[in-house]
Amino acid sequence: MQLFIAFNAEDQLRYLRDSINSVGSSLNIISSKYYLPFHISLKNNFTVSRELLDEVIITLDKYVSKLRQNYVRVKGIEYSNNIVWLRMRHNIYLRKIHHDLDRILKRKFNIIRHRFDLDYKFHVTLFMDDNISKINEAYIRIKDIGTPKKIELNKIFIGLSDYGEIGSYKVYKEYTLN
């Protein structure tokens, strides 16, 4: 099974949804066919066996229960390889959570960091596709769309997929922070 943990930004970015969906549909972009909330992932997705799933969730429950609301400043819309994203500015709070999750999951479950976790860029994925020309066109069409100056970090969710393919993830559990 594949898991990830993220801040839910859907309520604050909902106004972008129609534009993103319209561009994604017109270009037939793969990620426009999945319906997770807009989110800021806190680490790259990771593999967990079915046997350990409940224990991993309990561990994440305990960690998340200690977190408090915060915010992150938005840097802007960028693209890199096969992704167009809303990039976040450097944020000590997010960096600490990322580091803590890596450490806890390694120590308790021997979950090794993904190579993307080594230089993690906090972002909200807007488009993702293996066709780079589609991604470039999507970026051109939305690069000047208005973005918020900051995103409140007040809801977290765990995403889960049986096999980890785009479109297969679902929100498994959600938390509201104090």
Q: What is the pLDDT of residue 105?
A: 96
Those residues whose C-beta lies under 8 Å from the C-beta of residue 107, and which sit 6 or more positions away, are: none
Of the candidates 7, 24, 15, which has an alpha carbon nearest to the alpha carbon of residue 145?
Answer: 15
CA atoms of 91 and 99, how far apart (whole Å):
12
* Residue 87 tokens, joined: 């990039």
Q: What is the pLDDT of residue 107?
A: 96
Q: Is the Cβ–Cβ distance between 177 and 155 less than 8 Å?
A: yes
Look at the block and give the residue holding tokens 């479950």: 109
CA atoms of 134 and 111, how far apart (whole Å):
34
- Residue 20: which region, alpha, beta or left (left: phi > 0; alpha: psi -120 to 50)? alpha
* Torsion angle of C-alpha atoms 38, 44, 46, 52, degrees rounded to 10: -70
Query: What is the CATH topology of the domain spanning 2-176?
Result: Cyclic Phosphodiesterase; Chain: A, (3.90.1140)
CA atoms of 169 and 159, how far apart (whole Å):
6
* Torsion angle of C-alpha atoms 132, 6, 171, 163, degrees rounded to 10: 50
Residues lower than pLDDT 70 in the chain: 32-34, 117
Q: What is the CA radius of gyration of the chain?
A: 16
Q: Is the Cβ–Cβ distance between 138 and 23 less than 8 Å?
A: yes
Q: Per-residue pLDDT tens for 56-84?
A: 999 999 999 999 999 999 999 999 889 99
pTM beyond 0.85: yes
Q: What is the pLDDT of residue 34?
A: 59
* Residue 42 tokens, joined: 């806190």
* Residue 101 tokens, joined: 């999750």
Domain limits, the chain: 2-176
